[in-house]
Amino acid sequence: MLRIGVTGGIGSGKSSIAAVLRDRGAVIIDADAISRQVVAPGSAGLAGVLKHFGPGVRAADGSLDRAALARLVFTDPGARRELEAITHPLIWAEAGRQFAAVPADGVAVHDMPLLVEKRMSGEYHLVIIAMVDPETRVRRLVEQRGLDEADARARIAAQVSDDERVAAGDVLLDNGGTPDDLTAATGRLWQERIEPFRANLLALRPAAPATSPLELAGAQAQAGRIATRIAHTITDRIEAIGARVTSVAGGLLTIDCGVVAAKPAGDGPWLAPEHRATLTHAGFPGVAGGDVFGNCDPAWPSRITLRRMP
């Protein structure tokens, strides 16, 4: 299963990207929908929220007054953390159930607003960021969601910066144009990157060398994201990892990763066969023997050396 994270700031239209991917055949795990589900009338989540925050967040019909709750948590980081402590375990559990139901040969798209805030980029094969300038986002929130301008700006300010999102994203999709523009760009992404990525992952094969030159400007940032994914994949074996691009020649991104390894059990190798298998299924199949791995992502065909530091 190819796992894709889609995120962006409030008002950026990330769910529009997810909708296009659904039309192409992806299964969508919608974090916002799940967050509503876990506080639906009669749920344990709703009971917990009402108990903690009091009657001021209860609507006349007994359901959650989401607007009242939002006014509390978007301007109070402490209150937001308290809400997350109640709802997030329920949200993660339901998301896990939905991921488990996706076919092994499918594409799962996690529409996840807090992906960057929660440092979740390592959990996905690919992270897509919906990019829109802040003023357009404010206008959309006012015109489409009925927020007043001050509230819209406060909600945007409460989130991470665009620079932080860019650092976490493999793909930046501009959603400042028309819906047709976004549909076309997302469709190209599906055809040129997602579908070949899925095919490589299913076949457990690295992407073939690129036929056009790789861009050095984005190579180091991509190497960092690859290192983050590797560390997340075999977290029990890696205490720290750093990535350095050594070449972008021959259609391959060549990366040297210095690894501070966790102590192996007994006298075994620092990377046991099961760790290599885990890396393969995460999109990093071994190549050329030793501690050299490929990358299933066709946009960044790679040779990644995991070099254990003394």
Q: Report the mean per-residue pLDDT for the chain.
A: 93
Lowest mean pLDDT among 41-45, 62-66, 73-77: 73-77
Look at residue 15 in the predicted model and tell me its pLDDT: 92
- Copy the structure tokens of residue 80: 């937001």
Q: How far is CA 131 from the centre of its chain?
A: 14
Q: How confident is the model at residue 290 (pLDDT cuts 50, 70, 90)?
A: confident
What b-and-e string marks burial along 219-237, b requiring 16 or more CB atoms within 10 Å of the CB? Answer: bebbbbbbbbbbbbbbeeb
Region 270-286 average pLDDT: 92
Structural domains present in the chain: 2-198 (3.40.50.300), 216-308 (3.30.460)
Residues 6+ apart with CB under 8 A from 74: 80, 151, 154, 155, 158
Q: Which amino acid, residue 265?
A: A
Say whether pLDDT at 214 is over 70: yes
Residue 74: pLDDT band with limits 50, 70, 90: confident
Question: Which 3 state secondary structure label does DSSP give 211?
Answer: coil
Q: Which residue from 19, 73, 82 is spatially nearest to 51, judged by alpha carbons?
A: 82
> Is pLDDT of 236 > 90?
no
Instruction: Give the count of beta carbons closer than 10 Å to the beta carbon of residue 13.
Output: 22
pLDDT at 267: 64
- What's the rounded mean pLDDT across residues 4-11? 95
Nearest-angstrom CA–CA distance, 48 and 126: 34
What the block records as the tokens of 281 is 């299924």
pLDDT for the residue numbered 309: 87
Position 264 scores a pLDDT of: 63
What angle, rounded to 10 degrees, do the helices at 77-100 and 66-73 form? Answer: 120
Residue range 180-191: mean pLDDT, rounded: 96
Q: What is the pLDDT averaged over residues 237-249?
A: 93
Evaluate if residue 265 carries a pLDDT over 70. no
Instruction: Report the side by side order of strands in the sheet with 292-293.
Output: 238-247, 253-261, 302-308, 292-293
pLDDT cut 70: percent of the chain above it: 98
Which residue matches tokens 């300010």?
A: 157
Residue that has been written with the tokens 């967050």 in this structure: 35
Position 278 pLDDT exceeds 90: yes
pLDDT tens-digit series, residues 89-147: 999 999 999 999 999 999 999 999 989 999 999 999 999 999 999 999 999 999 988 88
